[in-house]
Amino acid sequence: MSSSDTPVLIVGGSLVGLSTALFLAHHGVACTLVERHPGTSIHPRAVGYYPRTGELLRQAGAEEAAKRAASGFENHRTRAGVESLAGEVLFSREELAGADDLGDVTPARLLLLPQDRLEPVLRARAEELGARLLFGTELLSFEEDPEGVTAVLGAADGTSRTVRSDFLVACDGPDSTVRETLKVPRHGRGVLSRHVSIAFGADLNQVLGDRRYSVVHVKNAQVTGILVHDDTLTGGTLIVGRDAAHEEDLDTFTDARCAELVGAAVGAPGVEVTIRSRFPWDMAEQIAEGYVHGRVLLAGDAAHVIPPTGGYGANTGIADAHNLAWKLALVLQGSAGTALLDTYDAERRPVGEYTAQQASLQLAVRSGTAGPEQRAELVDELTVTMGQSYRSTAIVPEAGHEQRPDPCDPRSLRGAPGTRAPYALLEGRSGPVSTLDLFGEGFVLLAGERGTPWAVAATAGARRWDADVTAWRVAAERADEAGVLRDPEGRWADRYGVGAEGAVLVRPDGYVAWRSAGAEPAGDETRVLTEVLRAVLARI
């Protein structure tokens, strides 16, 4: 039992911080979030969230609210062959091309929703689950020791107080105070360019007509930039470059200048424009050399800054939070050893590096500076966001098989350890059951039709290590039996790479921890699964 004021202190209340609070609360972990701003973001910032992010929100009960908030964007995708709003077409494509073919991969869809509208959804769900969110509260300093972290927090009224936590999660952005205090070095290409995002209000009905865009690059004599409009056609965001070398700071972007830039971008200089906010930011590629530092952990932009091409940054940060939350929960509950937290770095840092490289490749391709070799290395968005594979001690590789290397098309995944557990639609006592809806809390064992010994072994292993393991047997018939799911299409075994006597163990994050095709000697199942759980839970 923790004697701290809060088991987990989260620093930063933007998308990643709120997601961390949401996922921790989902796992029953009491947590406190501090954010120096008085509320959630007032700037749109990130806009697109890939299906994998939808799956993660689904586990925590936030997907439906996010989908409702995004419903107005359903038709806001760049149409092939249309011209830009004004000037030369620099880049035009369907957002998440092939999305209509994902029915066999996931029930989730692409979400188009500005960050300032998603954050309240995350906040509401996190608070509903019991997270304590303190806006208008700033981290002033902290000290980490072998037993926890002591932090000094400052309130808007000038008062301060000391808070003790078992762990601190830094979600405080690319200029992370926590990371800088720890003096964690970063590597990568550094700052590539400097920009200002201008959020504006304007009547775009007269400009767009029946055209709809998710993102459009515009270029003309007055402005070069990236334009996004909202689903109400009453505003949007224009992103333009900022010349830091000539001291072009935020003060030079007056309301009058910003309105002129917006008018030139939409091709209607006379349209009435209201400037809502300006947000300076740097396009960069920077990865922290280590996400885990004792009892302090880095997530999101504090850990990795990813160029915005591809829209990977927010999605990667939310996935960081999801990966970390279940591990923190098990460590705090005493079901796992603290070494489990080291697997957060082992799994997520390579993903951050690969994703940043892919975003930079997309940037080179879109700008026309990529050579043939670079173009050949570029993969699609589904592979980057859903085809990732992990290598760590929380994954038990199959005997004679290496863990998968680089990400691959998720359509080709077949339940190998270290990869996302494939989606399959089964049937239970009450009707259809998505395999993805089985995951998200404890471990799940899925066994073949003659895999009852594995289900029994899972119960024994769970009892040995005080772990939460739910066992299901997947059979052709008899879905009315307890612990049995029916496979009406007969495709589950192929998708998971097991036979009738095989089994897979899926982690709380929906990744396969271990798999057996049924080759272990009869009667050895309890020993095998007990050892698997010991390894995955870092119970040394």
> Nearest to residue 126, comparing CAs of 61, 53, 64?
61
More confident site: 409 or 443: 443
Mean pLDDT of 121-144: 98
Please say if the pLDDT value at position 372 is more than 60: yes
Q: What is the mean pLDDT of the chain?
A: 89
Q: In one letter, which amino acid is 413?
A: L
d(Cα 464, Cα 462) in Å, to the nearest integer?
A: 5
**DSSP annotation string for 106-131:** -S---EE--HHHHHHHHHHHHHHTT-
CB 303 within 8 A of CB 352: yes
pTM of the predicted model as reported, rounded to 2 decimal places? 0.93
d(Cα 292, Cα 503) in Å, to the nearest integer?
A: 32
Greatest Cα pair distance, the chain, in angstroms, is: 79
- The pLDDT score that the predictor gives to residue 210 is 74
d(Cα 33, Cα 16) in Å, to the nearest integer?
A: 11
Parse the chain into domains and list their residue ranges.
Answer: 6-186+285-385, 201-282, 396-536
- The pLDDT score that the predictor gives to residue 481 is 74
List all residues 6 or more positions away from 180 whose beta carbon is below 8 Å from its beta carbon.
none
**What's the pLDDT band for 81 if we cut at 50, 70, 90?**
very low
Mean pLDDT of 102-109: 89
Please say if the pLDDT value at position 531 is more than 80: yes
Taking only the tens place, the pLDDT of each residue in 166-187 is 999 999 999 999 999 999 999 9
Q: In one letter, which amino acid is 323?
A: N
CB 80 within 8 A of CB 232: no
- The pLDDT score that the predictor gives to residue 394 is 97
**What's the pLDDT band for 128 if we cut at 50, 70, 90?**
very high
The arrangement of strands across the sheet holding 512-516 comes to: 431-434, 425-428, 484-486, 469-475, 443-447, 503-506, 512-516
List all residues 6 or more positions away from 28 whose beta carbon is below 8 Å from its beta carbon.
329
Q: Which of 286-295, 332-341, 371-380, 515-524 has the lowest mean pLDDT?
A: 515-524
Range with top average pLDDT, 73-82, 102-111, 253-262, 313-322: 313-322
Helix %, strand %, coil % of the chain (to 5): 35, 25, 40
Q: Give the DSSP H/E element, type plus range, for residue 23.
A: helix 15-26
**What's the pLDDT band for 89 if we cut at 50, 70, 90?**
very low
Please say if the pLDDT value at position 474 is more than 90: yes
State the architecture of 6-186+285-385 in CATH terms: 3-Layer(bba) Sandwich (3.50)
State the architecture of 396-536 in CATH terms: 3-Layer(aba) Sandwich (3.40)
**What's the pLDDT band for 218 if we cut at 50, 70, 90?**
confident
List all residues 6 or more positions away from 434 whose beta carbon is below 8 Å from its beta carbon.
107, 423, 424, 425, 426
Residue 470 φ then ψ, to 5°: -105, 130
| Structure token pair of residue 404 | 């998968």
Mean pLDDT of 3-23: 95
Range with top average pLDDT, 260-274, 330-344, 416-430: 330-344
208 three-state secondary structure: helix
> Nearest to residue 117, comparing CAs of 44, 10, 204?
44
- The pLDDT score that the predictor gives to residue 366 is 81
**What's the pLDDT band for 363 if we cut at 50, 70, 90?**
confident
Q: Which of 117-121, 170-174, 487-491 has the lowest mean pLDDT?
A: 487-491
Range with top average pLDDT, 36-40, 279-283, 482-486: 36-40
Please say if the pLDDT value at position 133 is more than 50: yes
Mean pLDDT of 53-64: 97
- The pLDDT score that the predictor gives to residue 521 is 62
Please say if the pLDDT value at position 15 is more than 50: yes
> How many CB atoms sit inside 10 A of residue 270's CB?
7
- The pLDDT score that the predictor gives to residue 407 is 85
State the architecture of 201-282 in CATH terms: 2-Layer Sandwich (3.30)
Q: Give the DSSP H/E element, type plus range, for residue 391.
A: none
